[in-house]
Amino acid sequence: MPGIYIHIPFCRKRCNYCDFYFITNLKSAGRFLACLKTEITISSEQEKDESYDSVFFGGGTPSVLPASEIDSILNHLHKNFTLSADSEITLEANPEDFSAVKFRDYAEAGINRISFGVQSFLDSELKFLTRQHTAEDAMNAVRNASVYFGNINTDIIYSLPSQTIKDIDFSLSAAAGLNVSHISAYTLTFEERTPLYKSLQKNLVKKNPESLEGEFYGFVSEKLISSGYGHYEVSNFARKGFECRHNLKYWKYENYAGFGPSAHSMKNGIRRNNFRNIQDYYSSLEKGILPVEEKIILTPKQKKSEYIMLALRSSGIYYNDYSKTFPEDFREEFGKPFEVLLKENFAESNEEGFFLTEKGYAVADEIISKYFWT
């Protein structure tokens, strides 16, 4: 079944490394909610027969909205689409936004998974990343959330300048010690258009060399696997049964509908991107027109490259699924890389499929661009 992504474009303050689309003026939240509901209504007229089993509120910072507003969006979704009774419904949240009551209200609104932007459990690192919370806020938020939610993710960012393995160990141990069901661990990236990138250009900060990033990656994987988390995507780890259903749809190349500024949708090989700019998003919807900035019909070649990339970065290539999607046998089509990657222990295979090993995950992007990206 497909999933639904809702982009909530508000943040209290900019973090120096972030290039997601967000605005810091919360005054237009009313206008945004009206437009979002219009978008959902118009889209539902075109997707009448579709049923969904995941909703993901991402951003931005969805937790800046009160539970009553999340509740009203969910009610509107229920009115316009069929959501299965056991849908996974995730809310991305920042630790500084919470009191115990707010968690209860979100749970009552229907949220059943919380994904915290923790990033680190060390105050010095949070300061470097210009986050608005402290390590103590993060500990308290996760503990309080655990009363209402059995499914909690924490995002951790590592490979900060001058960071050591001991620092990374501290944050991962803290997250695992809180018994969260899911941990997403990403290396710090220096995206153009961010204040952090400007600092890099001015030589105020230094990016870690690739060899050190590789060492950190190996440590993170080992640490989380030995703490009982399955490594099910290059940057994602979960206790058994807590893999993120919504994100699996992206990685399995399934359909999803995205609402909100900058949201993407995918349906049967056609990708639609919404306006990123909120004024363009408003003006389109206030005229009763879907805010689609770009519609891309993927070529068979693009589809195949994307499918292989997403599959190899996560659960691997299953031969039957592959030949149902593309009329080819993966082993014959990619015979040479298949043999080389197996021989060098970057991959393993069985009767059902072909999967990257931990050694392969560590260099997944290089493998994909060398052998599979056309």
Q: To the nearest whole angstrom, how small is the minimum distance from the Cβ of residue 36 to ligand SF4?
A: 17
For residues 230 and 224, what is the distance between their CA atoms, to the nearest angstrom? Answer: 8
Closest CA to 289 of 74, 48, 41: 41
Task: Say how many residues touch ligand SF4, by CB under 6 A.
Answer: 11
**Which tokens belong to 299?**
């070529």
The nearest distance, CB 283 to ligand SF4, in angstroms, is: 24
CB of 80 to ligand SF4, least distance (A): 27
Under a CB-based contact definition with an 8 Å cutoff, are residues 116 and 152 in contact?
Answer: yes
Q: CB of 24: closest distance to ligand SF4 in angstroms?
A: 9
Residue closer to ligand SF4, measured from CB, 83 or 93: 93
Q: Whole-number minimum distance, CB 18 to ligand SF4, in Å?
A: 3
CA distances from 75 to 32, 60, 99, 344 (A): 16, 21, 23, 52
The correct pick among 3, 110, 117, 291 for binding ligand SF4 (CB under 6 A) is: 117
Q: How far is CA 80 from CA 7, 38, 96, 257, in A?
A: 18, 11, 33, 13
In the complex with ligand SF4, the residue whose CB is nearer, 11 or 347, is 11
Q: Would you give the binding string for ligand SF4 spanning residues 134-173, x where CB under 6 A is met?
A: ----------------------------------------
Cross-strand bridge partners of residue 365: none
Nearer Cβ to ligand SF4 (61/90):
61
Residues 6+ apart with CB under 8 A from 75: none
**CB-nearer residue toward ligand SF4: 38 or 120:** 120
**Cα angle for residues 29, 30, 33 (degrees, 5° grid):** 85
Residue 310 C-beta: closest distance to ligand SF4, Å: 23
Binding mask 3-42 for ligand SF4 (x = CB under 6 A): --------x--xx--x-x-x--------------------
> At 236, is the secondary structure helix, strand, or coil?
strand
Cα distance between residue 229 and residue 290, in whole Å: 41
The burial class, CB within 10 Å (0-12 / 13-18 / 19+), for 135 is buried
Window 56 to 115, contacts with ligand SF4 (CB under 6 A) = 59-61, 94
Q: What is the nearest approach in angstroms of ligand SF4 to the Cβ of residue 120?
A: 13
Residue position matching structure tokens 């599979």: 372
Binding site for ligand SF4 (CB under 6 A): 11, 14-15, 18, 20, 22, 59-61, 94, 117
